[in-house]
Structure 1
Amino acid sequence: MADTSIGTPEQLRDPNYTPALHRAIPLGIQHVLAMFVSNVTPAIIIAGAAGFGFGSDAGAQGFPDMTYLIQMSMLFAGIATLFQTIGFGPVGARLPIVQGTSFAFIPIMIPLVAGKGVEALPALFGGVVIGGLFHAFIATFIGKIRFALPPLVTGLVVTMIGLALVKVGIQYAAGGVPAIDAPEYGSLLNWSAALVVIFVTLGLKFYAKGMLAVSAVVIGILVGYFYAMLMGMVTLEGIATSWSRAAVFQAPIPFKYGFEMSIAAIVGFCLMAFVSAVETVGDVSGITKGGAGREATDKEIQGATYADGFGTAAAGLFGGFPNTSFSQNVGLIAMTGVMSRHVVTIGALFLIVCGLVPKVGAVIRTIPIEVLGGGVIVMFGMVVAAGISMLSDVTWNRRNMVIFAIALSVGLGLQLDPKAVQYLPDTMRILMTSGLLPAAVIAITLNLILPQDLAGEATEEVSGGMAGHGKGSLKG
């Protein structure tokens, strides 16, 4: 229920209304807490997949690189959010939309960087930039492609994203990929740290209210962090070393890792841009319905998609990852009843400040991988649940079951056994082993070409658009 002490009901529904600063600042920081862990997690996962070091050892390989990637995740989440809330020209919805690093692209990025270190980053960020520009181009015809992405397709894709990521959560909770062959991998100590995070997060989500419930994941990780310190998994000396080694201020560096045109990266990011764009349409609709009790306008939807694309392209130029609207913040607006875009602007400025101070990223990097694993299990499990929620709006006739069965079987099968396509050219192999892209292409194609009435069975048309988006989403 909306807090009328912040303003009148009419003011609370107005995106241009600015509450008093003593109210607006806590509300803005609340938005940051709701998305903070989800926003920096993709950078940590990609750095880990590429082979950068984890933990509080500031001398570990990759310390400056992982810290920089975390820094750029915060900085460009803030900048892309300003694209949405303030806008320029046709860019931006001028709505309280919080941008953050997208989970959706992680299954595409991991095969591109796996075990290759910083040498893989030029091609990765080349794909981010080109994919972002293509995402912005989608804004010119976003309203015309929604028919091709009904809940059958989007629900399958979101479910596949979650299924591709849950393995990462389990590996982190057990001790991390580099430690798979070590005796301590899967030890009770490692799992205990992850379980502390999970139980604290669940307890706050279900039994707390207000700020505590909204910040459940970040508080769970903080509690897990202190538990890890008590158990000797992280030391104050290690944290102090990381803190002292990191600079007080660092501006983003254009093309820090270079720029390379990789067909696999470009195709992967461009194809995923379609799904991300339609998800953003759902988020914009959720914000206007939940906060203002109205439908989103075409101009708002187009502006939000432009901001997604240009925010992603700008991030890629400086070493940031794809940005998209964050759905947990959509729910936060519905919960608080405050529609002010200027509140979210305050949160964006807070993110930008954090992104310009490497010490923040350095401290985040000292979180033990087992602690992060507990948070990741919760987050990525929710991605799977969100996809299943979307699929609940599908009419499960024979046609749709066939589409779902084939797409899921091929996509999940290639994830589980990448060697099945080991003789394909490198570009095709990377795209196929993600599992996500073949599943999406199969589902979209079959949904467009198969007749609605399959094998003489009377069917109802699958609901179009993003019906059901309010029930589930892949954003964090």
Structure 2
Amino acid sequence: MIRRLSVDSSKTNVRAEKGSVLKDENSLQEPVEATSGTYATPFLSLEYSGSINGSLKSTLKSKLGANNSQFGVISSAADLINTILPIFGGLMVDHFGICSSTLVCMFFILLGNVVDSIGATKNHYNAFVAGRIVFGLGQSVLETAQRKLYYPMPNRGLALVFALDLGFVRICNILGKVTALPIANASYYAMTYWTSVIFTGLSLCANIAVVFLMKKVHKIDEKVVFDKNMLKIHKVFLALPSSFFLFAVSWIFQPSVFSTFNKIVADLVKVHYNVSAEQGGFYSALTQVVPVVMTPLGGVFVDLYGRRPQFVPVAAGVYIVVFALIAKTSVHPIIPLILSSLAFSISTISLLASIPLIIHNQKHLALALGIWKSFINCGDVIMSVVVGRVQDITPNQSYVNVIWIFMGVKAWAVVLGVVYIICDRAFFMKIFDRSVKNRLKLECELGCSIFQASKLSWEHEQLSANISRFSCLHVMGSLKRATTKLTSRSGWFGDKSFNYTNLFAPQFPYNLPRRQRKMLRPSPFFSLDSNLPIVLLLIAGLQHALACLAGVITPPMIISQTLNFSNDLQSYMVSASLICSGILSIVQMLHTRIPYTNKYIGTGIVTIVGVSFNTIPVFTSMADRMYSNGTCPNNTDGSRAACPEAYGYFIGTCMLASLFEIGVSLLPATVIKKACPPVVSSTVIIMIACQLLQSSGFSNWSGGDCTENCPSADAPRPLPYGAIEFIGLGFLAVVTILFVEIFGSPFMKSGSLIIALAVGSTVGCACNYCVNKIRDSPAITFLWVHTFKLKVDPPSILPILAVYLINSVEALGDITAASEASRLSVGGSEFDERIQGGILADGLAGILAGAMTQAPMSVFAQNNGIIALTRVANRSAGLVCAGYLILFGVLGKISGVFISIPKPVLGGVTSFLFANVLVSGVRILSRISWQRRDRIILATAWTFAFGVLLVPEWSAHFFRGVDTNGNEALEGWLETIETVVSTPSILGCLVAMSMNLIMPEDVDEESKDASDMEQGINENRNTITEIPSTAQSTQSQLEK
């Protein structure tokens, strides 16, 4: 059915002049003006009836004998029926018209209020719920019909009209909240609902009068014409752009926070702030005051200046502040309640007024509004039930846990706001960001409304093309391609060009037969965005995950052992490290542009991140200092006790210092290379590897925990430190690595460290060398199961800043190597953007990892070898790898397996891993020209660095005679100096950087080296020319 509105006005051609406002006679301006009372009268009763339940929550619970969950059913019963009906209500409004729809709605609203009143009078719970359901039948269509009236003004005053509508709704809510308790106290609480019946009856009469005036005075004739195509609802759904469904699905729980908060705010204020019920109702009414004024002002701002997506994260931030004030402070309730109403004022307008901008076919606008309302109501139902259930489970917590749920939802809204801004700029040509001036200018160029134009300008063509990319038909095409890929052999395995035999077959490198050499033909190369078969995608992702798995789990295990964490906390540290690595790897690989800038976040290529080994020496020094000065406790036997406070100091300091790497990312790559040339970066990497080999690798290999109190009666095998059994078990792991590297297939080589851990753990557990910590690990876990108090350790700031500088240099080299392995250019603007985005993502990873209770993370180099080995540089393989890491982290038992590995096995494998880091530092040294200047810089830096490594106590008495007199600032400065001079990697870094800046370039040495090189080349050339003559003379002698 298609509804046709005939208006007593003729069509006229409108000339588009600059600055003029276009007017279309088909936009039904007269009906909009005439029908301003069509929704005003019904909504007076609708909103009044819907707002009184929150104020009477305590009364309803006591009279009806309901708990919090049952009250959630009462408050969400209307929303429950509205999860589906608004869709059909939208179709009804589109087909039968607004006048008929509002009359039907008012009848159901009146009937529902009557049933509610009877249930309240009889104190009957089921009757009360039935009344709310009948009430919802009318509510579902009335709001859709009311907003259908607004579609003639999508480009002008739409936000203002929506704002005035919401302001009117707030007034009705204030009226209901303020009068509900006085009426209930004056007589009986059921009288409040009978008052609502009176309001609804008067509204129905007024609505009939308004419809009569519309038909008789304004001559609006709603004719219904049947069309079979309109009965095909699935085609109507497909006609809606999927961008609309993107907004509807992602926003499903956001409005429910305010609506649920609005329902419980009176009781929340009463319980949380210990005030009377009347005061709670009065304070809750204040949440409706600010929107009455601020919502129209926000609508005017949106109409004049646009900026619709920017309202979303700002409002979410205000909500988080509100809930933090309620949960963590004792401020007066008026302050957070007014702030919450302010957040509601600026958040509701932006997306609600954007729906007509997305729906180009206005005859489907009511259907779209109905779908939007259905999603919002689904969120309201779920949120109301969850909140009630949480209150019942934790009765002693009051509303604290509910507030935390609200904060989590609004934190997600901040992320959504950023996504909306990016999508608007990337795909929708800033249609939501346009001001009214820009829209009117474009309309003047088109000669009609931008939403009625049909490819009259290149901009509109591009806009239509961008939006069509997100249409439901495009989604259906994508689903069809996905189905084809899942059901075909080529989709799973690809063509015969990829050699799976080469990937899985073991190799015997000695005297390889010619037949086997033919089988080892190279596989095709899969570029960054190529289409990979599913099996190869899963295999390549698993190889990347196995290659970086040992590097991801080793640092948290070292940190846990250093601070003597309990088994469950050790398991959490490993799980959280895997999850955090997967999430931040996805951020690194997306290569997202920052709005309004030419900067990026992420590299856009296969780059996996994990906990940086560079931070471990600094952490070890900090932990040693805290155990020595009493910040961390010690056990009575002299061993270290658990110290989560030290870890909180560490990650808090790292989060603060990560701002330095974010600043470094904004510098050109040449500046970074100038500050940290190879002589500096190689020194740091070599010293880090040596320090890790000394403090962690060989320490664990020789017995691990036995090094503190040896032999320990609590150990599974109480053997002395360095026992031959320990050495042999670690040696078995190293031999396994070498065996796999020689004879293993390419797939096995990528996971050689994991295979060594598996073999060593199997033998060790069979010989009773390991402790079963799997039972202490949960089956499923996630981030923030354990949290740490974030603090800043001033003495560690300077060393960590040096670590972040080195991380920047390492990231530059790793991203360059990954680009070369992916056969991408290593020069030009695209490469510079990749470098800048990668270093910036590393800096942000320092903040985000700390927020996820993990140490700073940086780009790994191991995955570059996997790209070269498998010839798969596809970004999807990296995303699959990130998915594997998240899966491994969520499955808590896997972390239990890792922390159950015997210390000698772990020591042997990590020693090999740290030696590989050492080799990487030596490889960097091969890039320098070995001039006299380079040798002096390295000799000076290594003098101090290796000296501290071999004799750690050399700086123990530097400040023995210094009297600080309780000066905390001086004590902190002295501790900073002690940390720097006692950490080999940091001291070597500072000395190398200082020498690099001080030592001048030796020009004579450079020219001498160049001449020596040229002379050597000439001598070799002469030698080569003499070889033929020598051979001829030798041959003549043999003939004689």
Q: Does TM, normalized by the shorter one, top 0.5?
A: yes
Question: Of 696, 702, 707, which aligns to 1:174?
Answer: 702
Give the secondary structure class of the aligned counterpart of 2:854: coil
Which residue does 2:535 correspond to in 1?
22
Which deviates more, 138-147 or 37-46?
Answer: 138-147
What is the Cα deviation at residue 292 of structure 1?
A: 1.5
Letter of the 1:119 counterpart: E
Residues 266-296 of structure 1: CA deviation (Å, up to 9, x unaligned): 2222211111111111111111112225215
Alpha-carbon distance change, 232 to 358 in structure 1, aligned in 2, over 3 angstroms? same
Give the secondary structure class of the aligned counterpart of 1:324: strand
Distance 2:692 2:775 in 1: 33
Alpha-carbon distance change, 451 to 65 in structure 1, aligned in 2, over 3 angstroms? same
Give the secondary structure class of the aligned counterpart of 2:858: strand
2:963 is the counterpart of 1:427: no
Letter of the 2:548 counterpart: M
Distance 1:173 1:400 in 2: 36
Give the secondary structure class of the aligned counterpart of 1:243: coil
Alignment of 1:122-137 (within 5 A): 122-137=648-663
Alignment of 1:251-400 (within 5 A): 251-253=782-784, 256-295=787-826, 297-400=831-934
2:677 is the counterpart of 1:146: no
Contact 2:842 2:858 in 1 (8 A): yes
Letter of the 2:722 counterpart: G
Residues 69-90 of structure 1: CA deviation (Å, up to 9, x unaligned): 1112111111111011224332
Distance 1:283 1:418 in 2: 32
Letter of the 1:122 counterpart: G
What is the Cα deviation at residue 218 of structure 1?
A: 0.9
Distance 1:329 1:223 in 2: 23
Distance 2:664 2:576 in 1: 25
Alpha-carbon distance change, 454 to 120 in structure 1, aligned in 2, over 3 angstroms? farther
Distance 2:909 2:569 in 1: 22
Which residue does 1:202 correspond to in 2?
738
Distance 1:453 1:276 in 2: 29
Question: Of 688, 692, 700, which aligns to 1:161?
Answer: 688
Alpha-carbon distance change, 395 to 174 in structure 1, aligned in 2, over 3 angstroms? same
Question: Of 32, 36, 45, which aligns to 2:549?
Answer: 36
Contact 1:315 1:322 in 2 (8 A): yes
Which residue does 2:135 correspond to in 1?
none
Which residue does 1:249 correspond to in 2?
780
Alpha-carbon distance change, 291 to 362 in structure 1, aligned in 2, over 3 angstroms? same
Contact 1:97 1:326 in 2 (8 A): yes
2:584 is the counterpart of 1:80: yes
Contact 2:775 2:896 in 1 (8 A): no
Residues 152-208 of structure 1: CA deviation (Å, up to 9, x unaligned): 111111111111111121111110154353252111111111000000001111332
2:644 is the counterpart of 1:113: no
- Equivalent pairs: percent with the same residue? 23
Distance 1:39 1:74 in 2: 7
Distance 1:365 1:177 in 2: 13
Contact 1:142 1:277 in 2 (8 A): no
Residues 186-233 of structure 1: CA deviation (Å, up to 9, x unaligned): 111111110000000011113323111111111011100011022221
Letter of the 2:820 counterpart: K
Give the secondary structure class of the aligned counterpart of 1:292: coil
Residues 49-73 of structure 1: CA deviation (Å, up to 9, x unaligned): 2233xxxxxxxxx212211211121
Residues 406-455 of structure 1: CA deviation (Å, up to 9, x unaligned): 11111222233333222442222122211111111111111122112289
Instruction: Give me the CA root mean square deviation.
Output: 2.4
Question: Of 441, 458, 468, which aligns to 2:990?
Answer: 441
Contact 1:12 1:340 in 2 (8 A): no
Give the secondary structure class of the aligned counterpart of 2:592: coil
Contact 1:399 1:454 in 2 (8 A): no
Q: Which has the higher contact order (CA 8 A, sep 6+)?
A: 1
Distance 1:28 1:10 in 2: 17
2:723 is the counterpart of 1:213: no
Alpha-carbon distance change, 254 to 278 in structure 1, aligned in 2, over 3 angstroms? farther
Give the secondary structure class of the aligned counterpart of 1:26: helix
Letter of the 2:993 counterpart: I
Distance 2:944 2:563 in 1: 26
2:601 is the counterpart of 1:91: yes
The structure where helix makes up a greater share of residues is 2
Which residue does 2:572 correspond to in 1?
68
Letter of the 2:698 counterpart: I
Give the secondary structure class of the aligned counterpart of 1:100: strand
Letter of the 1:151 counterpart: P
Give the secondary structure class of the aligned counterpart of 1:339: coil
Give the secondary structure class of the aligned counterpart of 1:249: coil
- Consecutive unaligned residues of structure 2, counting only runs of 5 or more, are 1-495, 500-521, 594-599, 633-642, 712-718, 960-973, 1011-1040
Alpha-carbon distance change, 80 to 327 in structure 1, aligned in 2, over 3 angstroms? same
Alpha-carbon distance change, 172 to 459 in structure 1, aligned in 2, over 3 angstroms? farther
Contact 1:157 1:439 in 2 (8 A): yes
Distance 2:726 2:1009 in 1: 50
Which residue does 2:80 correspond to in 1?
none
Letter of the 1:428 counterpart: I
TM-score of the aligned structures, taking structure 1 as reference length: 0.88
TM-score of the aligned structures, taking structure 2 as reference length: 0.41
Distance 1:271 1:120 in 2: 20
Contact 2:498 2:523 in 1 (8 A): no
Distance 2:767 2:777 in 1: 25
Which of 1 and 2 has greater Rg? 2
Alpha-carbon distance change, 382 to 356 in structure 1, aligned in 2, over 3 angstroms? same
- Consecutive unaligned residues of structure 1, counting only runs of 5 or more, are 53-61, 462-476
What is the Cα deviation at residue 27 of structure 1?
A: 1.0
Contact 2:645 2:789 in 1 (8 A): no
Letter of the 2:787 counterpart: K
Distance 2:929 2:935 in 1: 9
Distance 2:1006 2:527 in 1: 49
Alpha-carbon distance change, 10 to 225 in structure 1, aligned in 2, over 3 angstroms? closer
Residues 20-43 of structure 1: CA deviation (Å, up to 9, x unaligned): 222211110110001101111011
Distance 1:253 1:380 in 2: 30
Question: Of 757, 763, 768, which aligns to 1:232?
Answer: 768
Alpha-carbon distance change, 383 to 459 in structure 1, aligned in 2, over 3 angstroms? farther
* Structure 1 runs of 4+ with >6 Å offset: 454-457
Contact 1:30 1:211 in 2 (8 A): yes
Contact 2:644 2:788 in 1 (8 A): yes
What is the Cα deviation at residue 457 of structure 1?
A: 8.2
Which deviates more, 308-317 or 249-258?
Answer: 249-258
